[in-house]
């Protein structure tokens, strides 16, 4: 049950971050249709990453090695593509320059993305070495590289803490049931007193 709640929270965060970017009043108005499409594309990448991760954790490599490898490849592809696109959108949205927390979030996003790419290169290298030469200890290095890849992915998504600082997330069922004009998961600013 806790895994299900964690996955639902990730789905909510995916839509909330899309709305966070789209509702920014700081980005240039002429690019609005294109920017909205790019934000929705980033949300789709994030959802694909989550689906790949769910499948990856559901199928072990001993059960079905091909499907496990396919899910891991999908997870790494969608995760890194999402990181690149969301960093660019975050910078373009103007949220980066809006506050010290925005700049801190951007810097952490870039740092985690770079760490994740570096970890992926190590994963690929050690996987090749393990399968090609079957050297002792190389699989351990492969596993450590995989763990660092996952850790950087978790840290990247944890930057949402800075993005949603002083905001309240409201799930509104009326927006889900009504016709057009409403986005999922509206965000409202919360004033601190």
Q: What is d(CA 34, CA 50) in angstroms, rounded to the nearest whole number?
A: 24
Least confident of 28-32, 35-39, 104-108, 150-154: 28-32
pLDDT band at 109 (very low <50, low <70, confident <90, very high): very high
As a whole number, mean pLDDT of residues 68-97 equals: 94
Least confident of 15-29, 131-145, 149-163: 15-29
Contacts of 176 (CB under 8 A, 6+ apart): 182, 184
Question: Encoding tokens for residue 123?
Answer: 């994963």
Predicted local distance difference test score (pLDDT) of residue 178: 45
Spell out the domain ranges in the chain.
2-189
As a whole number, mean pLDDT of residues 69-88 equals: 97
Expressed in angstroms, the distance from the first to the final Cα of the chain is: 37
Model's pTM, two decimal places?
0.82
pLDDT > 80? residue 183: no
Judged by DSSP in three states, 165 sits in coil
With a pLDDT cut of 70, the percent of the chain lying above it is 81
For 14-35, how does the pLDDT look when each residue is reduced to its tens digit (9 = 90+)? 988 888 888 877 766 546 788 8
Predicted local distance difference test score (pLDDT) of residue 6: 66
């Amino acid at each position: 049950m806790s895994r299900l709640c964690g996955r639902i929270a990730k789905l909510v965060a995916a839509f909330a971050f899309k709305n966070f970017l789209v509702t920014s009043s700081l980005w240039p108005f002429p690019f609005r249709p294109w920017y909205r499409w790019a934000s929705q594309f980033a949300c789709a990448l994030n959802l694909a990453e989550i689906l790949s991760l769910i499948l990856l954790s559901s199928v072990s490599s001993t059960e079905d090695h091909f499907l496990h490898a396919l899910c891991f490849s999908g997870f790494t592809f969608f995760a890194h593509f999402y990181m690149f696109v969301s960093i660019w959108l975050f910078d373009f949205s103007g949220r980066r320059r809006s506050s010290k927390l925005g700049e801190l979030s951007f810097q952490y996003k870039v740092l985690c993305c770079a760490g994740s790419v570096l970890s992926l290169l190590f994963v690929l290298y050690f996987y090749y070495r393990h399968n090609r030469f079957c050297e002792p200890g190389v699989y351990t290095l492969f596993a450590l590289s995989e763990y660092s890849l996952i850790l950087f992915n978790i840290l990247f998504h944890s930057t949402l803490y800075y993005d949603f600082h002083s905001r309240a997330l409201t799930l509104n069922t009326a927006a889900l049931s009504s016709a057009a004009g409403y986005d999922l998961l509206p965000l409202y600013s919360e004033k601190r007193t």
